[in-house]
Amino acid sequence: MELTGTIKLIQPLQEFPSGFYKRVMILTTEGQYPQDIAIEFAKEKADLLDKVYQGDRVTVGIDLRGNEFKGRYYVNVSGWRIDKQEAGQALERLEQNGGGDDMPF
């Protein structure tokens, strides 16, 4: 499956005592009723988020993962590919990288 939208937020890396780690991206979908979808990138797939920024329009390859715990059912959206569609806001990139204050004028 794929989702296309704009990156709203990329959360910091979460590490667990077991050695497992993940990052979560919030993607705002397109269409008449946009939705904010949390997509988890686990283990080595978390590195995919180093190449995209807030405001980028992307298409994300996803899998839906479901499980049951004590009679309740849960669904996670797991990302495995990111294709950038167009550049995001240049100003946001400068702010994220700590730049923008060294202009000569």
12-66 confidence digits (pLDDT tens): 999 999 999 999 999 999 989 999 999 999 999 999 999 999 999 999 999 999 9
Based on the number of CB atoms within 10 Å of its own CB, is 59 exposed (0-12), middle (13-18) or buried (19 or more)?
middle
With a cut of 70, say whether residue 90 has pLDDT above it.
Answer: no
Is the entire prediction scored with pTM above 0.85? no
* Distance from C-alpha of 23 to C-alpha of 79, rounded to nearest angstrom: 10
**Domain residue ranges in the chain:** 2-87
* Distance from C-alpha of 6 to C-alpha of 64, rounded to nearest angstrom: 20
Structure tokens at 73: 């059912």
CATH architecture of structural domain 2-87: Beta Barrel (2.40)
